[in-house]
Structure 1
Amino acid sequence: MTARARRYLANAVAACGTPAIVRLLLAMLLGSVLEGAVLALLVPLIQLLAGSDHPQVPVVGASISPTTLVVLAGVAVLLRGTVQWWSAVTSADLRLRTLDALRLRALGGILEADWSYLATQRRSDVVHATTVEAERAEAAFELTLRMMVDALLLVASAVVAVIIEPRLGLPAIGCLLVVVLVARRGVRRSVDLGVEWTARTMLFSATVTDSLSSLRLIRAHEASAQWLRLLREASDGGRRVQRRYVEHTAGTQALVSFAALGIALLLVVLGRTMGLGVAELVALAVVTTRLLTTARALLGEGQAFAHFAPSLDAVERIIEETAHAEGLDTRPRSSAATRPPDGPGVGRVAGEERAGVSRPLLELRGVTVGYGEGAVLDGLDLEVPAGALVAVTGPSGAGKSTLLDVALGLLVPEAGEVLVDGMPVGDPRAWRARLGYVPQQTVLIPASVRENLTWSAGRELSDDALWAALEGAQVADVVRRLPDGIDTVLNDLAQLSGGEQQRLSIGRALARQPDLLVLDEATSSLDPATERAVLANLRATGAAILIATHRASIAEVADAVVALDPDHLFSNEAGPA
């Protein structure tokens, strides 16, 4: 548990800086000193209330005037409250800043991670780790700070107990240590339950995400009862874990409370036997009770921390796994002399060049990509000349999306090379700055049309440029009919039909003014007439177009066709001249 607490503090230092942590620790230390001072003043205060005109300060033994005592106690209480308030505000600020830093590091890692890693991650796991688990990690960090405060208060109470009566204070501390050592086993059990709870809640989040993504299918098949059963089972598993945790911690707390009461009563009886005065006995009882109560709270916080602490593992796992962000491709490059000879699975897709078409903008030479044991693409050669339209066809699973990922610089081939303007792609980010991509699944954000067009451009765009992109996507008239035109906020995507949403996505790609448009079934929601008009507009931009499609109408007008077969091989089908 100590090692986990150090990890939390290390994250806080990284997020907030060492000076901020030091200031908080000093405030906690000052608060504990003031708490000890207030407790130490209990003896003379009780003597004063008992009618003594000369109350005695413990240890010092000197008498103090009633006025001075009251003023001193009041100042101590006021300072203690002020320091505690400042500590609470500061710790909350540090805690929240640390949480935000953890979340943003994890999400930033996801946004910058290598595509081969992202392709293996379940979206619900990432969302769960950066929301539920991050918040539990924040709670664990809060508990870390509270344990530090209570540990200091525990020390202060112990010192005061020894000051009041060493013969009783030291045995009280000894009994306290025995209780804590016995209860430590409960902390280990809390860690195990915390790990199990994390796994259960991730399963529940995944089930919820999948059910929401499948609403149309669920309703069409009248399968609501079956999905509700899956959700109930996932929820029940998490609830059972939490119940075991509460049963365990509540039992431990009850045991410690019983032991604390017994120790306090025993010390009072011993004090009377030793002839201590009423003031000393009352003060000792208060201090001892405070000591044991603080120890009980510290133990409870330790158990809660142990339960929440594993959540940091889920967030840090993402940070660690995405630490190697996508960078330059430093693999040795093959040369033309070492390319595999033509043979099964190796061909060339060039088509008949149209008049005015220059050398290839994009070339794939002998590209091989595989997942697991099988190759999805095996020795693929492909040319996409500037200004040309190249269609990729084939059944599902034949490798169309993989081919597009290679073209986008998201996947690095296991063999072969990717050339742009005749040169190997060394920096995929620089290459993607020249691309416009429209995925198969339409992606719109709950913001204005303008923001939906510009968020991926990376620069400010004029209204003329935005309207030109909308015209090119055949969606300008639709946007003009919206209440606020280009500044209409798309809070409800039902404002646009499926085809209109898809055309808006095409407009977003056009707004980037790309050299190459990569389209993944990007016209699947368009009727034939609109599709022809959109393709004509895309070709008029002069950009090269690489499109994965099932539509024969697109293949018929393409300059070249890459036909991937079910065995992941490909054939050449030249389009019209």
Structure 2
Amino acid sequence: MRTTPPNPAAPAPGGTARRTAAAAGRTGAEAAQAVHPDAAGERHTAPGASRLLRRVLVRTRGWAAVLAGTVAVSTAAALALPAVLADAVDRVLRGQGTGWVPLLGVLCVLTAAETVGQYAGPRAAADATVHLRQETIRRVVAAGPYPAVRFAPGDLVARLTGSAPEAALAAQAVVYSAAQLALALGAVTALAVLALPLAAAFLATAPAGFVLVRRYLRRAGRLGAGYQRVQADLATRLLDALGGSRSIAASATLEQEIERVLAPVPELARHGRRLWDSQRRIAWATGLLAPATQLTVLAVAGYELSAGALTVGGLLAALGYTGIGLSGFGTAQSLLDLARARAGAGRVAEVLDLPVRAPGTVPLPPGAGLLELRGVTLRRSGAAVLDGLDLRVPAGTCVAVVGRSGSGASLLAAVAGGLLDPDEGEVLLDGVRMDGIRPGDLRAAVAHAFADPALPGATLLDALALAAEPVAPDAVHAAARAARADGFVRRLPEGYRTPTALTPLSGGERQRLGLARAFAHGGRLLVLDEATSSLDGATEAAVLAAMDRDLPGRTRLVVTRRAATAARADAVAWLDAGRIRGLAPHAALWRLPEYRSVFHDPAD
């Protein structure tokens, strides 16, 4: 009987997330205010890993039950085989025939059960891997663009590709551990039935091996968790280097960057060597004790045979049951797999514990787009970025938000657009709290455009039509014309059908496409977060004029660092120290030297 479960194939992750359309324009760099590298890796508790493993077992209970059933049958067949073989040998020696029919039957049952088990085990692990990856992806995306804890992309990749398959080993590890222990106990019982001294001889030597195995398993489990953490660190560094490859090349720091990326390798090697050393010690201990146990049982069996208490067939059965009993040492590998599964489950559970806002249930009534922020406080790293902020944007007006670098203007835009909930206070759209509005209603009412918008979708048309309710092509074309994007899109080889991944875009072109998507979205509130920062002055003026002309009556909140853009707004909200220092037309605020200095911030 096989004593160690196979490594499962890991299918590609699937699943979708609830708030994809809401955060479609926000890149990871925009959204992340802090990166959580999880370097220590000890934050998650064992009970969290245990709960997740139980969920995995429940999720894969179908194939796990098939595996358990087949392993139970093969275990019973394996325990019956020495007895049937002994009976066949004794029959031959007594001249009563061969007894080959029962022996052949047991072998056929054992082979069939092993065959089914070889499929059921990997299938259970593969299904569990897919489930864990789907749940992890859903939770990461559903946590929104501004989660309380941000995992580095490389760390998430490591958890998806490494930790999830490790956790998926749980069903196989549990089943095979139980089967191997059952085999060991069954073998000892069978030896006792044959002759009590045989069981005593086995128990005199074999338990020492189990004690050694348990000691090394604990150490291997800790090392396995450390190995996964270092792998995640390495993946994080590599993804960072790939993302900044142009800057690295421009600064001629390739060698330094290679050293930085490879810095965790020695630690990874240390963990790997220690894991190998633990496995070597287990193999050494079991390899030494197994022959000692077999020789001890064989000596006692020989004595019992010479004394007439044991037949020749019984002698063969004793040797067979000794080998089966020693297969209990195979529990070490299964328990090691279980330790790996616990370590992997702990890392996946950390992601699944990310807080996700409960979706609102209140329908949004008709309205013109009145936006109100009342006593809004938002903290980052223990400090208040927005501190009791009040702001009222009348329906159909345009309010520009300006502030020095690091003033929290982008966070204010995220709060105002419902992408981020404040720690204190409330945000209302036409008198209804945003956190209570049904997601579909909220996303249909509020459109966003960002400084560096992402363009998900197979083609440019797909990217521009992305919304909770897909936008018609005619509306996309009209919005692109308003955003001054239609001309360069039509010059592409396939126009709007050009694959997004094959379209080289400048920063300004990408911004114009992001604006076009927001314009096509419709709704009553438009939030622009530095969405024209890469446009030249003439193009920006044309886009803003088209927005005024083609989007009459829409409420607009515009985060900007350009005086000309602020001057076009009905009013400017001057953000300073987490509060609105002034709310007035740009011309009135311009008389203040401190306000003028915002547009010449030395931090820029």
Identify the residue that residue 319 of structure 2 maps to in structure 1: 285
The residue correspondences of 1:32-181 to structure 2 (distance < 5 A) are 32-47=75-90, 53-54=95-96, 65-66=97-98, 69-113=99-143, 117-118=147-148, 120-173=150-203, 175-181=205-211
1:418 pairs with 424, 427, 433, which one?
Answer: 427
Which secondary structure state, in structure 2, belongs to the residue aligned with residue 256 of structure 1?
Answer: helix
Could you say if the C-alpha distance between residues 320 and 489 of structure 1 is closer, same or farther in structure 2, counting changes exceeding 3 Å?
A: same
* Structure 2 Cα separation of the partners of residues 165 and 4 of structure 1: 47
The amino acid that maps onto 1:128 is A
Q: How far has the Cα of 1:243 moved from its partner?
A: 0.9
* 518, 538, 548: which one aligns with 1:509: 518
Give the counterpart letter for 1:302 in structure 2.
L
TM-score (norm 2): 0.79
Q: Which consecutive residues of structure 1, in runs of 5 or more, have no partner in the other structure?
A: 55-64, 331-357
**Cα deviations by residue, 1:272-305 (Å, 9 ceiling, x for unpaired):** 222255443344323322331x222211332343
How far does residue 576 in structure 1 lie from its aligned partner after superposition?
Answer: 7.3
Look up the match of 2:54.
Answer: 10
Q: Secondary structure at the match of 1:376?
A: strand
In terms of mean alpha carbon deviation, does 550-559 or 417-426 score higher?
A: 417-426
Please state whether the residue corresponding to 1:418 is helix, strand or coil. Answer: strand
Give the drift of 1:404.
0.8
Change (3 A) 1:463 1:174: farther
Residues 56-87 of structure 1: CA distance to partner in whole angstroms, max 9, x if unpaired? xxxxxxxxx43xx3233223222222222222
Tell me the SS of whatever aligns to 2:168: helix
CA distance in 2: counterparts of 1:51 and 1:446, whole angstroms: 77
User: What residue identity is the alignment partner of 2:481?
Assistant: E
Give the deviation of 1:264 after TM superposition.
0.6
Aligned to 1:396, what secondary structure does the other structure show? coil
Q: By how many angstroms is 1:498 displaced?
A: 3.0
Aligned-partner residue type, residue 168 of structure 2? E
Q: Deviations over 1:433-473 (max 9, x none)?
A: 31111232321236222332344x12343322332333333
- 1:441 corresponds to 2:484: no
- In the alignment, the residues of structure 2 paired with residue 319 and residue 86 of structure 1 have an alpha-carbon distance, to the nearest angstrom, of 33
Deviation at 1:20, TM superposition (A): 5.2
Shift of 1:221: 1.8
Q: What code does the residue aligned with 1:486 have?
A: Y
Q: 1:221 to 1:284 in 2, by over 3 A?
A: same
Equivalent residue runs for 1:310-459 within 5 Å: 310-322=343-355, 324-328=356-360, 361-428=370-437, 429=439, 430-445=441-456, 447-455=458-466, 457-459=467-469
Partner of 1:463: 473
| Cα deviation 1:90-135 (Å, max 9, x = unaligned) | 2322222222222222322222237664464434333332332112
* TM-score of the aligned structures, taking structure 1 as reference length: 0.83
Flag the 1:516–1:21 CA change in 2: closer, same or farther, 3 A. same
For 2:48 and 2:287, locate their aligned partners in 1 and report how far apart those are by CA, in whole Å.
27
Letter matched to residue 281 of structure 1? L
Give the Cα–Cα distance (whole angstroms) in 2 for the partners of residues 555 and 80 of structure 1. 79
RMSD of the alignment, in Å?
A: 3.2
Whether the 8 Å CA contact 2:402–2:572 is kept in 1: the answer is: yes
Using a 3 Å threshold, how does the CA distance of structure 1 residues 508 and 569 change in structure 2: closer, same or farther?
Answer: closer
- Map 1:291-306 to 2 at 5 A: 291-292=325-326, 294-306=327-339
Higher relative contact order (Cα pairs below 8 Å, separated by 6+ residues): 2
Q: Kindly tell me: are residues 480 and 249 of structure 1, through their superposed partners in 2, closer, same or farther at Cα, counting changes over 3 Å?
A: same
Cα pair distance change 1:328/1:532, threshold 3 Å: same
Counterpart in the other structure of 1:492: 502
Is the alpha carbon distance of 1:128 and 1:571 closer, same or farther for their aligned partners in structure 2, counting shifts above 3 Å? farther
Aligned-pair CA distance for 1:416: 4.0
> 5+ unaligned residues in a row in structure 2: which ranges?
1-44, 589-604
Aligned-pair identity (%):
27
Q: State how far apart, in whole Å, the 2-side matches of 1:406 and 1:286 are.
A: 71
1:358-378 deviations in Å (ceiling 9; x for gaps): 976212234333335543223
- More deviation in 565-574 or 125-134? 565-574
1:148 partner letter: A
The Cα offsets for residues 385-436 of structure 1, whole Å up to 9 and x where unpaired, read as 3333322222210111121121022333344432222444352534343111
Counterpart of 1:122, as a letter, is: A
